[in-house]
Chain A
Amino acid sequence: MSSLSPMQPERLRRFVSVEFSPSSGCLGSIVSMVTDFCRNVVDEPQTRFAFQLAAYELTENLVKYATGEKTRVSISIEGSVRGPVLVLTTVNDSTPERLEDVRKRLEAAETATDPIQHFDQLIQESIATPGESRLGLGRLRAEGELLVSHSIQGRTLTIQVSKTVRRREEVTRS
């Protein structure tokens, strides 16, 4: 991996991808992969934390809900007309019931016009519901200020979180 300075959009694509069998034992390794990648391409501490948060929350979801032996986590940075975009992607299979549940929660998170208000609503629902928190996806937008998108094909769920980041030289100047 190398830094992205100076920016040359046509060369601006770096990525790391890993396939694994989900277990809590691999959580730290996946998060380290994502945070190491971000450290190499982004200077902004808030963006680095946002992707660390996303790596934890999405990988924890994989550990809890993925079915099958193989799931995938990828982190990439690529050029766009607005500047470099950092993208974290997870791919996993799950049960139809679980996919329907996560679809609803993802759509609510993606379309919330006020992510903090949406997160507060999730908190209120969580107070009334013992057990799992179900806060992670809302937190990615409210705390991480990340864009969230997803697709479901058959039993395969793909989630992407992304953020347009500043070029290294812009960070240095500001």
Chain B
Amino acid sequence: MKLTLLPVTREGYNIIPRLEDRKLVLKLSGTFDMTSANALQLYLDQVSTEARRQQALELVIDVVDVYYLGSNCIKSFVTLTVGLQTGTAGLLLRVITNPRLDWQGRAFSVLARIAPQRVVVEQSP
């Protein structure tokens, strides 16, 4: 099934989606502060819809090249996690972090605390 999500390129950040079998992958890069919060929330709403439409088994969010994530954007990921818990049976959310950016593990670990059976936060090799 063709992916309906489009890549996003804005001043300061990018989001590149791709589909690998039944794995939906989002590659985020740049800085996600208050100026990008609304756009990120809208995009993640679409991701949630697309994951259901594709009957994806896994949603991979690669944040290796993300240099800052504001609290509004963390809330967007929290909303995504809660939505996936209730709307997509069996879907696993895998967050790939940069081992050289310790803050990423701390910031995204909150998602694993919300849904420990459905969220994995792991470092990029």
Q: What 1/0 mask marks residues of chain A from 139 to 163 whose CB sits below 8 Å from any chain B CB?
A: 1001100000000000000000000
Please indicate which of the listed interface residues B34, B71, B110 has the most CB atoms of chain A within 10 Å of its own CB: B71
Q: Count B-side interface residues using an 8 Å CB cutoff.
A: 20
Q: Is the C-beta of B70 less than 8 angstroms from some C-beta in chain A?
A: yes
Whether A120 pairs with B110 at a CB distance below 8 angstroms is: yes
Whether A123 contacts B114 in the complex (CB less than 8 A), given A24-B35, A49-B102, comes out as yes
Q: Of the 9-residue stretches B42-50, B51-59, B72-80, B89-97, which lies at the interface with chain A?
A: B72-80
Within A120-174, the residues touching B (CB, 8 Å) are 120, 123, 126-127, 132-133, 135-136, 139, 142-143
Query: DSSP class of A's interface residues: helix, strand, loop or mixed?
Result: helix
Whether A57 pairs with B70 at a CB distance below 8 angstroms is: yes
Residues of B within 8 A of A143 (CB): 103, 106-107
Residues of A within 8 A of B71 (CB): 57, 133, 135-136, 139
Q: Is the C-beta of B68 less than 8 angstroms from some C-beta in chain A?
A: yes
Within B1-54, the residues touching A (CB, 8 Å) are 33-35
